[in-house]
Every structure is written in structure tokens, then in C-alpha cells.
Amino acid sequence: MAELTKKIVSTPPAPIPQAEKPKRDAKDVGSKTKHSIVSRRTKGDNIFDAFNTVFMIIFTIVIMYPLLNMVAVSFNDGLDALKGGITLFPRVFTTKNYHTVLSQQNMLTAAKISVLRTVIGTVTSTIVTALLAYVLSRKEFLFKKQLSLLYVVTMYVSGGLIPIFLVYKALGMTNSFMVYILPGMVPAFSMLVLRTYMNGLPDSLAESAMMDGAGHMTIFIKIIFPLCMPVVATVALFTAVGQWNSWFDAMLYNRMDSDLSTLQYELMKTLSSVTNQHTNADTMKNASASITPTTVRAAATVVTALPIVILYPFLQRYFVAGLTIGGVKE
């Protein structure tokens, strides 16, 4: 009897059966959430979305049409293009315009110089500008306000074309590749954008690194510069576009050295020569008159813009974020 009582006491009570909860499928949850969101939309929301869609389609067409029209004109026969009416596709297809642009004697060398000045100029300018912005963003730097004001003044006040030419000549930068790199190494606008972004970073980052024994160069390379990548990419894109499109400095400072001519300067000379040829009435009667300044200009524009168009999608995700963050002070 004692053993039976002991077994009864030691036996755990049977669990009370509970009603099973119905399993909810993820698809059902998603569909219900989506249905609830849709059900909360009003008629005004639908009208607003429809208006935005139509507006963006029209806006895209307005933006893209001139670009596509320029490409169509560049592949069209010159005399036929003078009639007008070309929209998105060439009427008389030809590649003579691109052959005229790319078959110049010094075009390959000029393209190499343009690529070199774009790569070297962008890398050096971005690094030096970021270093200067870091110095001007430090609270312990005594003359940061005065130096910042000096750079801002250079954005609005120029030394004049002739004095600048004389200074470059005295420094030995005429007929030299360095005239493409050194004068624009520290753009004032890029410095201000980077400095503004660095001012918004927490001071505790640099202070903690200094407590661990890090110097300013270590802080800049391992902490500040990686955090500034969105703004750095934006500044680098601005600098690359400026370096790639520049031709005036090649004409002014390296005109006597054809080996230092840039692609844009060669394209400008090609367009000028075609324009001068077609001012003669006899030339217009020749077979080569199928190449006109209008179509050559369109082909030269496409050749010049194509590398930037290819590069931009890779930096697009940094572009808007960099401008927004760098332009607003925390």
C-alpha cells in the first residue's frame, strides 16, 4: 500500500491538452498586409500616383530626346541631316562622321593623354583635397578659418589669364604634362564639401584613436577617409569630368607640343577644320560634303561623352548621398 501511494504521488500529472493554434502561412500574412495597405489608399492617392507616373514619363522623354537625337544625327549623312526632321533614328545611315573624328593623325596619342590626365589628376586631387579638408576640420588647427577664407576667395576671384600664363611659364609648366595636374589639384568647392562632411563626424572617433596611440595620418587613413567614401566618390566624379572635358589648357599651354594634346582639343581642331572646309562653295559640291559640321559635331560630342556615361552608373549610388550629406552641416 505504501509503495502504491508512493507511485501515485511520484507520477506527474498528465498535461492538459490545449487547442492547436492554426498555422499562418507567410503568403497569407503578406497578402493580408498588402491588402490592408491597399485598402487604406484613397482615391486622391491613386490620382497622385497616376499624375507622378505621367509626369516622370514626360520628364524622361524631354531629357532623353536631345541625347538620342544627337546620336541619330551623328550616324546620319551630312547633306541629309541639313534637311532636318531627324528624330530618334538616322534616315541615311553612315559612319563617315566617326571615321572623320577618329582618323586624325594624333588622335590615339591625344586619347592616351586624356586618359592619363583624368586618372592621375583625379587620384592626386582627391587625396590632396581630402588631406586639406581633414586639417581644416580639426578644432586644434589655429588658422583654419583664415585658410578656408583664402580658398573660398579663389572660387570667385581669378588672377587673370596673362598673369597666370606668365607664372606657369616661369615655373616651367608650359609644354609640360604637369600643367594638367598641379593647377587644379585642390578645387575649393571639393574641399568645402569634404570639410563640411568631416565636421559632421563625431569627435569621439578621433579622440578614441588618439588614446590608443594613433596619429593624425593613421586616423585619416583608417577612420576618416573610409567614412567619407560617399563624398569622396562624388568629388572624384566631379574632378574626373572636369579633367576629361578640359581642352582650353591644352590649347593655351601645350599648343606647340602635339604629343601633349588632349582628345578634346583634337576634336575641337577637327570640328574647326571641317567648318572651314565647308565655307568654300566648291567644297560643298564634292563627295566629301556628305560630312558636315553638324554631323561631325554630334559625333565628336558622343565620343567625348561616352566614357563619362559609362563611368557614371558605377558611382551613381554615391552621387546623391554624397551631395546631400556633404552639403548639409550637422
- Looking at residue 42, what is its pLDDT? 85
Cell readout for 103 is 582618323
Question: Are residues 150 and 197 in contact, defined by beta-carbon separation less than 8 angstroms?
Answer: no
- Looking at residue 212, what is its pLDDT? 85
Dihedral angle of Cα 201, 202, 208, 213, to the nearest 10 degrees: 30
How would DSSP label each residue in 34-88? HHHHHHT--HHHHHHHHHHHHHHHHHHHHHHHHHHHHHHHHTB-HHHHTT----S
- Looking at residue 32, what is its pLDDT? 52
Which phi and psi (to 5°) does residue 93 adopt?
-70, 135
Which phi and psi (to 5°) does residue 76 adopt?
-105, 155
- Looking at residue 330, what is its pLDDT? 44
- Looking at residue 129, what is its pLDDT? 93
CB-based burial of residue 305 (10 Å sphere; 0-12 exposed, 13-18 middle, 19+ buried)? middle
- Looking at residue 14, what is its pLDDT? 52
Query: Roughly how many angstroms between the first and final C-alpha of the chain, as a whole number?
Result: 83
CA separation for the pair 296, 76 (Å, rounded): 10
CA separation for the pair 192, 234 (Å, rounded): 13
Cα torsion angle, 210, 213, 214, 216, sign: positive
- Looking at residue 109, what is its pLDDT? 87
Question: Are residues 130 and 232 in contact, defined by beta-carbon separation less than 8 angstroms?
Answer: yes
- Looking at residue 300, what is its pLDDT? 83
Closest-CA residue to 70 (of 300, 330, 321): 300
- Looking at residue 230, what is its pLDDT? 84
* Stated pTM of the model: 0.70
Residue 36 neighbours by CB distance under 10 Å: 9
Residue ranges, the chain, pLDDT below 70: 1-39, 274-290, 315-330
Domains in the chain, please, with CATH? 98-327 (1.10.3720.10)
CA separation for the pair 319, 326 (Å, rounded): 11
For residue 93, the SS3 value is: strand
